[in-house]
Amino acid sequence: MFDSSLSKTLKEKIVGRGLEIDLIISALASGKHILLEGPPGTSKTTILQAIRDEVKIPIFFLTGNSDLTATKLIGHFDPPKVLSEGYTKDNFISGPLVKAMEEGGILYIEEFNRVPEDALNSLITAMSEGELPIPRLGTISAKGNFRIVAAMNPFDDIGVGRISRAISDRFCSLRLHYQAKEEEIQIVQRRTGISDDWLIEFAVDVVRRTREHSDLRMGASVRGAIDMVLIAKNLGKMGYEGLELLKYSAIAALRSKIWLREISGRSVDEIISEIVLEVFSEKTGLKIKKGESVEIDFSELKNLAKKSRRELIEAAKGIQGEVAEAVLRGNREAVEVSKIVWDKLNDETKKKIARHLSKAIVKEAKQLSVSGSKLKTSVGRYQFDSDELCLDSTIDKSSVKILTKLLEYEDIQVFRKEKARKSIVVMLDRSGSMIGEKIFLAATIAASIALGSREHEFALLAFSEEVEFIKKMNEAKSVENIVESVLLLKPYGCTDIAKALEEGFKELMKSKEKDKIGIILTDGMYNVGEDPAEKSKLFPKLVVLCPPKGDFRICENLAKLGKGEVIKLKDESVSITI
């Protein structure tokens, strides 16, 4: 079934992806579950649909979302039948997980990282033991071909959660990247049935250019090129032609498929039009003038840093313009160099590249371990938007009314899922000692906490002897904007930790949420103001982040008095439970 002949058939139906197909088939043949990671339009679902068409086993397709519960995944007893006949196997309505196990099929879960943690935990025993115990029903044993295939976009950060180690450890994993230009051209030709090679290549070039644009968080997939070609062909029949046709078809096809950075200050239409013009100019020979940039070997410059930090700073003083140009081109080594020479760059250069550095920092922060909000499940009275009956609780509370057939809506008990929201205030030291790479450390921490706090109330302030709010509790601000503001902070003055704690606590108290947390980045060394020990006692929970070379003893004491914990930072890694 899962063998070389299946692999050969799939390769005839799917453009490219030869290695990926072989790996997927080999994993399934080995009895393994597999997690496919990649941005939209990288053939994840296409491969599974092709497998479904060729093999004679059932495949159950499921899309993950925040409303998917363990009950919806596993199944439930039919309430009316249970009330009249009791808990029997015939009265159990199987969910997709149980169906896949009983029929020996594949459970395919799209948007896997959008599935709530409690629902994902119901997969663990089924994946590792091939069994699933269900209260009042018994244990379901999986047939031989049962597999779970999951797919997710690892670059998405809205409405998604981190996959726990217990879950990811039970998967084999495969990362799918965008395909080569030639393969994408072939895909568009197949999907559109259009033979206009120039138009198809143009559309593919535009789409691929969106993936590299500095104002876009995520570009379009090959689906964008397919839609653009189809729209352009039909616009052409209506009398549109030339650059006008290309621009309008690109905007219509790509506007909903690309992800604009919130701090770009530009519109989606403007960016798409710009890309179309660039590609059109290149293909027609009309050259767009660009400022010449000096090529710097930043790899060598970075190696110099390992020998002598002072030499690197001196070398970078005279080439900050080239550093900026390289950062704007997305040069990874230049980003690393800019962290070291940040204090030597002038304000104009900092402002020029801060937006682009913030994008890199946010991407890096997504890899850090910062947990966001979790759903808490409670049982309560029926509401008309409730869709999951708690049968056991209803029977326990209203058994007499059930027997006498006097059961009313208010007697029905249902599961309710609510987000366990918190209020969080983050306090970053921006005094004179927080210079150089420490500013990048603060920016990375701000990004990681902000990403993990999307479902919480969240405030951020910077302090020296004065306090400056970057984001207040009720203020809306994008993560990139927050990071950019932190990068452009000017370290100055002395350190008044007590004042920061006092102002942070006041802001925290503005929230109506019960759970309140303070997080402070400080080396613990204050030189003005009161002893911060007393102020730390104000907090229900205070987490103290101690940077490298900070006074860990003082930070530890502040955290202890704040009924929280101290975390000793190494480089830019941090693990915080919020």
- For the chain of 578 residues, list the mean pLDDT of each consecutive stretch of 10: 84 88 90 88 85 85 84 84 80 90 90 85 89 88 89 67 81 89 92 90 93 84 94 90 87 89 72 88 58 40 48 54 62 66 74 77 61 49 52 55 50 59 86 69 80 77 90 83 85 87 92 86 86 92 86 91 86 50
Residue with tokens 């679902």: 45
What are the CA-CA distances from residue 63 to residues 111, 152, 568 (Å)? 6, 10, 40
- Superfamily of the domain at 181-284: Magnesium chelatase subunit I, C-Terminal domain (1.10.8.80)
Domains 4-175 and 181-284 share a fold: no
Question: Per-residue b/e over 401-431, b at no fewer than 16 CB within 10 Å?
Answer: eeeeeebeeeebbbbbeeeebbbbbbbbbbb
* Per-residue model confidence (pLDDT) at position 287: 47
What are the structural domain ranges in the chain?
A: 4-175, 181-284, 375-419, 422-577
CA 84 to mean position of chain CA atoms: 46
Contacts of 37 (CB under 8 A, 6+ apart): 151, 152, 153, 154, 173, 174, 175, 176
* Per-residue model confidence (pLDDT) at position 54: 85
- Beta 542-546 vs 566-568: how paired, if at all? parallel
Just give the CATH number of 4-175: 3.40.50.300
For CA atoms 177, 178, 182, 185, give the dihedral sign.
positive
State the burial class of residue 66 (Cβ atoms within 10 Å of its Cβ: 0-12, 13-18, 19+).
Answer: middle
First to last CA, the chain: 47
CA–CA gap between residue 540 and residue 49 (Å, rounded): 52
What the block records as the tokens of 426 is 């983050």
Q: Containing H/E element for 223?
A: helix 222-237
What are the CA-CA distances from residue 43 to residues 35, 182, 189, 300 (Å)? 13, 15, 16, 38
C-alpha atoms less than 13 angstroms from C-alpha of 471 in its C-beta half-sphere: 27
* Per-residue model confidence (pLDDT) at position 274: 87
What are φ and ψ of residue 304, in 5° steps?
-60, -35
CA–CA gap between residue 110 and residue 60 (Å, rounded): 11
* Per-residue model confidence (pLDDT) at position 420: 60
Residue with tokens 């910062």: 370
* Per-residue model confidence (pLDDT) at position 370: 46
Q: Containing H/E element for 312?
A: helix 309-317
Q: Measuring CA to CA, which residue among 110, 217, 114 is closest to residue 160?
A: 114
Just give the CATH number of 422-577: 3.40.50.410
Contacts of 344 (CB under 8 A, 6+ apart): 313, 316, 317, 320
What radius of gyration do the chain's Cα atoms show? Answer: 28
For CA atoms 466, 519, 563, 571, give the dihedral sign.
negative
What the block records as the tokens of 279 is 């590609």
* Per-residue model confidence (pLDDT) at position 567: 86
* Per-residue model confidence (pLDDT) at position 160: 57
* Per-residue model confidence (pLDDT) at position 418: 56
CA–CA gap between residue 212 and residue 330 (Å, rounded): 9
Model-wide pTM > 0.85:
no
CA–CA gap between residue 169 and residue 255 (Å, rounded): 37
